[in-house]
Structures are given as C-alpha cells and as structure tokens.
Chain A
Amino acid sequence: MPFKRYVEVGRIALVNYGKDYGKLVVIVDVIDQNRALVDAPDMVRGQMNFKRLTLTDIKIDIKRVPNKKTLVAALEAADVKNKWESSSWGRKLIVQKKRASLNDFDRFKIMLAKIKKAGVVRQELAKLKKETTA
C-alpha cells in the first residue's frame, strides 16, 4: 500500500486536537520531523505538531512560506472551501455539526420525518412483495 497523502508545502490538513480543532490549515513549511509551520486565513502563522494534524487529499500550489495575501489568493484560486465541503469527509463533518446543534423542536421534526420516510419505504416493500408472490 503506497502512501498517497504526503506532508509537503501546500498540503491542506485538518486540526484534530487543541485550540484550533476542526480548522483547515495549510502546511507552509516543515520545521523538523515532528512540527510544521501552518497557516490559515483566520489565524496567525504558527507551529503545530503533526500529531495534531490529519492530512487531507487537497493540495494547493504555493511556494515555501508565502505571505498572507498570496496564501489567501492561492486558497481562493484552488477553491479549497468548496472542494472540502463537497468531499464526502467534509460533508460528514457538516452533518455532524448540524446534528450536534439541534434543539428539541428540530429533533421532533426529524423524528416525524424519519417515521414518514420509513412508512413510504415499507409501502414500496409491500408492493414489491405482492408482485413476487402473485
């Protein structure tokens, strides 16, 4: 199984621990074996341990240590936000966030919707059963 996701300048990573949990950051440079210099449009450029990062499939084309303007422009050009939100990983995270932020009324609405959906599925199944037995 060869490796597909590499630590390199321009790799997008997801922060999975700590203060910036859940953010997408760009690896801007590598400090040493365990740390990288990361940057994102809404944070000060800083160092982060690789243990706190999960690499994604997205990679943008930047030179080593770009300045903030170039970085933001490159992120816009590569359309990272849309690529992330349309990927299956990104969509799952959005759904998780939505589920965590529901209030009781939303959960009630979901319960009704689930019952309705199950009813429709069961009707179709009964129809198919009748066709096969008949």
Chain B
Amino acid sequence: MSYKFHQFQVVGRGLPTESDEHPKIYRMKLWATNEVRAKSKFWYFLRKLKKVKKSNGQMLAINEIFEKNPTTIKNYGIWLRYQSRTGYHNMYKEYRDTTLNGGIEQMYTEMASRHRVRHHCIQVIKTATIPAKLCKRESTKQFHNSKIKFPLVFKKVRPPTRKLKTTYKASRPNLFV
C-alpha cells in the first residue's frame, strides 16, 4: 500500500551566535509527501512559534517514521486546524485504519470532499491512537464489534485486469451477490 503522505521527524535549531552559543533544538513530527516538503513545513511552523527562519537556522536531522504495527487495526483521532472560506476552525476526526499514514491520508481526502479544504490549508495539531472505549464518533464505534457480520449488498462485476476492460458487453451484469 503506497501512501501519498509520509510522516517525518524533523529536527532543527537556529544558528549559534555570539550571544547564544547553544540555541535550543526543536523537533517536529509532520506529514508531507517528500523530505523537501517536510523541511519546508518545519520552517513554516517554527517561524510561527519562535523567532527563527530558514536563513538563520540549520536542519539537524530528518528521518521518516514508519508504522510499527501495520498489521493491526487502530482507531486514530486527529485534531486539526483548517482554513475555510470564512476563517480558521478546529476539528477532531476519527478514522479506523492499520497505519497512521493511512488515517492521515483518509483525513486529507475527507476534508477535501466534505469541506472543500485543500491540503495546504490543513494543519495537523495532534494525532493519537484511541482505545475503543474512548472513541467519540458513531461511524468508528459501529465497527467495534467482535462478532461483526454484514452482507455485501451490491456486487460490481469487474474484469480482473485493466487490459480485459471493454466498452461494450454482450449481456447485462448480475449485481446480486
């Protein structure tokens, strides 16, 4: 499963000067499509928090963070701040996924579809893995059932490879499971 958004840990600080020999080192975890964008995002956020820019700062480390257990299902809670047409708002969303990158990607696509918010207008404040008891949204809580059982109601007939796709078919498909 290839994800568009990767999680990076970016570490940087302001350049040492005569007055400040050992400036404080800051570390951020953020999501970006590649390393270059991650470094840029790091300076964007750091500029808003401290009096330091890319021109008088240095990048110390950037590492990609990979999912520890991509084979278990987790409930992710994501706190975000986004810019709508009329102002900034905070939001809390929940997603069920195997990896945090998958949950973040779901968040970006859902924000784009439900609220028409493009990804550069979204800032992820915090993410957390939520245990099942503390989930707030009904749409994630409905899958917290160890004896879950439902039928697949609508079966779409699909050729097994894109090559076998044809515009016209001889007969109408049977959509019942």
Using a CB–CB distance below 8 Å, which chain A residues touch chain B? 1, 3, 5-9, 16-17, 21, 29-32, 37, 44-47, 50-51, 54-55, 63-65
Contact = CB atoms under 8 A, between A and B. Distances in A.
Interface stretch (B25-33, B38-46, B122-130, B147-155): B147-155
A11 B150 CA distance: 11
A6 B151 CA distance: 4
B72 interface: yes
Nearest to B71: A45
Contacts of B140: 32
Given A1-B176, A3-B151, A31-B73, 5 more contacts: A3-B177, A5-B151, A8-B147, A31-B96, A65-B73
**Residue among B148, B149, B155, B156 with max Cβ neighbours from chain A (10 Å):** B148
Interface string B31-65: 00000000000000000000000000000000000
B105 interface: no
In the complex, the 8 A-B pairs of residues with the closest C-beta atoms, listed nearest first: A3-B151, A8-B149, A45-B71, A6-B149, A32-B96, A64-B146, A30-B148, A6-B151
Nearest to B156: A51
Contacts of B98: 31, 37, 46-47
Dominant SS among interface residues on chain B:
loop
Interface of B: 1, 70-73, 96-98, 140, 143, 146-153, 155-156, 158, 160-161, 176-177
Contacts of B156: 51
B124 to A, nearest CB: 20
B160 A7 contact: no
B71 A46 contact: yes
A31 B177 contact: no
A1 to B, nearest CB: 7
